[in-house]
């Protein structure tokens, strides 16, 4: 065998031997991480971690060793530093989307979505990068900062995206009356990372109407399998009170924040219940029904002695149909009996044309409009349709303030009863002869 062949053989043997060896020993401050301890030590801990994904045969990895050890020593007691041998932990490295060596990730505020370290490979820069992520986590906990990681794979200033898991999914999503959009993602998925800021922005804009959640499908596999997730990201819509997986609908909209918001609002409006037609019995009822609504529809119905229960219910049925027709407008709907709320009638000029009557009030602008047509489905629909398009005559509320609301007993649903007449006892009355005539 020639000299060159000997050297080639030696090099190959050395390479094979070195490829199976870890770059860090138990005496170093770099903690060896494996698939068996990673979840417990990193993901489920409260500590910030710097983790290097390496391969023993990688020259850049070997060059990094002294600086990485130095960073680990400097951060000891403050931030944990670990290393993963990707030749031995291929599954763990694949789960985190490692495609080259060395890859350094910092597991900070959101352990399911680590930050890729892209700084210089010096001990000083690595330590500073880790400390910066630690500061972000502190700000998030104190509620005074931004820049934390969103739950679905990217950086965002929003914490309105709810982190979902196999254990909390049914309680938060299926068994609630809330409307949900849920993203099933993988931390290594590039499309998921691109979606992250849009998802977070949409979550903030939809707050109070539609909840946005995110579930790491690589960790919480039970729910991912239950809903047939085969690619990332997968987005599904859950109407309120879904109860089971069959209620889930595929999201087929765009991937920008505005696309997500518009799609979700359209679905939300389709599924919102018709508003309740509420009797105006107190100041609290007035505020609860109309204070935060764009418009408040107020109807004054005839007195129960002038219009019995069947008559009154016929008017309430008309209002219920109109409430259903215009439910997407999210108006408030109130009704009162004629004479029960005199200040309301005076302030809004209701009753001048008899009962039933209707006024629509814009509480923010302190303006109102009166129904001039018939109190019928056709007449009310025409009146409300014009208002919804910004047409129709409006007038300022008298006195520029809302009227006093009296507290009264709600209608019991029965016909009215005339008060009983009192019997007059004339036995003690003296009648003279003229009176008797």
**Phi, psi (degrees; rounded to nearest 5) at 394:** -125, 155
Q: Which residue has the tokens 């579930």?
A: 215
Among 61, 86, 93, 307, which one carries the catalytic annotation?
61
Pairing of strands 49-54, 80-85: parallel
Residues 316-321: contacts with CB under 8 Å, at least 24 apart: 316/277, 318/375, 318/376, 318/377, 318/380, 319/277, 319/380, 320/274, 320/277, 321/377
Distance of CA 191 to the CA centre of its chain: 22
Distance of CA 437 to the CA centre of its chain: 86
Distance CA 47, CA 223 (A): 27
Active site residue 61: yes
Distance CA 208, CA 211 (A): 7
Q: Which of 151, 165, 267 is nearest to 226 (CA)?
A: 165
Active site residue 189: yes
What order of strands is seen across the sheet that includes strand 249-250?
162-164, 210-216, 179-185, 234-238, 249-250
Residues 6+ apart with CB under 8 A from 280: 286, 298, 334, 335, 336, 340, 341, 344, 405
DSSP annotation string for 141-195 = HHT----PBPTTSSB-S---SEEE-TTTHIIIIITSS-EEEEEEE-TT-HHHHHH
Q: Which of 418, 221, 208, 396 is nearest to 292 (CA)?
A: 208
Among 93, 192, 290, 307, which one carries the catalytic annotation?
192
Active site residue 307: no
Helix, strand, coil % over all residues of the chain, rounded to 5: 40, 15, 45
Active site residue 290: no
Among 93, 189, 296, 307, which one carries the catalytic annotation?
189
Pairing of strands 103-107, 80-85: unpaired
Distance CA 330, CA 293 (A): 7
3-class secondary-structure state, position 396: strand
β-sheet bridge partners, residue 214:
163, 183
Q: Among all residues, which ones are annotated catalytic?
A: 58, 61, 189, 192
């Amino acid at each position: 065998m020639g000299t060159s062949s000997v050297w080639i053989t030696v090099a190959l043997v050395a390479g094979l031997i070195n490829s199976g060896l870890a770059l860090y020993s138990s005496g170093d401050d770099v903690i060896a991480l494996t698939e068996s301890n990673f979840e417990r030590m990193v993901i489920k801990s409260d500590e910030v971690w710097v983790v290097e994904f390496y391969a023993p045969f990688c020259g850049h990895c070997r060059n990094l060793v002294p600086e990485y050890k130095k960073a680990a020593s400097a951060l000891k007691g403050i931030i944990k530093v670990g290393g993963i041998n990707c030749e031995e932990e291929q599954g763990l490295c694949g789960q985190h989307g490692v495609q080259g060596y060395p890859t350094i990730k910092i597991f900070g505020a959101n352990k399911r979505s680590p930050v890729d370290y892209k700084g210089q490979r010096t001990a000083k820069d690595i330590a500073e990068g880790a400390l910066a992520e630690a500061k972000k986590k502190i700000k998030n906990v104190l509620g005074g900062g931004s820049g934390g990681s969103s739950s679905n794979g990217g950086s965002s200033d929003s914490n309105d995206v709810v982190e979902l898991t196999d254990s909390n999914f049914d309680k938060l999503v299926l068994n609630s009356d809330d409307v949900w959009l849920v993203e099933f993602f993988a931390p290594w998925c590039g499309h998921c990372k691109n979606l992250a800021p849009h998802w977070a922005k949409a979550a903030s804009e939809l707050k109070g109407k539609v909840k946005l959640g995110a579930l790491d499908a690589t960790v919480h596999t039970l729910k991912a399998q239950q809903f047939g997730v085969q690619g990332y990201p997968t987005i599904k819509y859950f109407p309120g009170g879904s109860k089971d997986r069959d209620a889930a609908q595929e999201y087929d909209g765009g991937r920008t924040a505005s696309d997500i918001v518009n799609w979700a609002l359209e679905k939300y409006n389709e599924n919102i219940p018709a508003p309740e037609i509420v009797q105006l019995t107190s100041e609290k009822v007035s505020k609860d029904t109309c204070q935060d609504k764009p418009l408040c529809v107020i109807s004054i119905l005839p007195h129960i002695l002038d219009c019995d229960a069947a008559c009154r219910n016929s008017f309430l049925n008309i209002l219920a149909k109109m409430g259903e027709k215009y439910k997407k407008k999210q108006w408030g709907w109130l009704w009162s009996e004629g004479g029960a709320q005199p200040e309301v009638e005076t302030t809004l000029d209701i009753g001048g044309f008899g009962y039933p009557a209707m006024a629509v009030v814009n509480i923010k602008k302190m303006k109102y409009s009166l129904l001039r047509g018939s109190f019928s489905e056709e007449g009310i629909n025409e009146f409300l349709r014009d208002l919804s398009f910004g047409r129709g005559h409006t007038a300022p509320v008298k006195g520029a303030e809302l009227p006093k609301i009296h507290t009264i007993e709600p209608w019991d649903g029965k016909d009215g009863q005339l008060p009983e007449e009192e019997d007059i006892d004339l036995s003690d009355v003296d009648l003279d002869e003229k009176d008797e005539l």
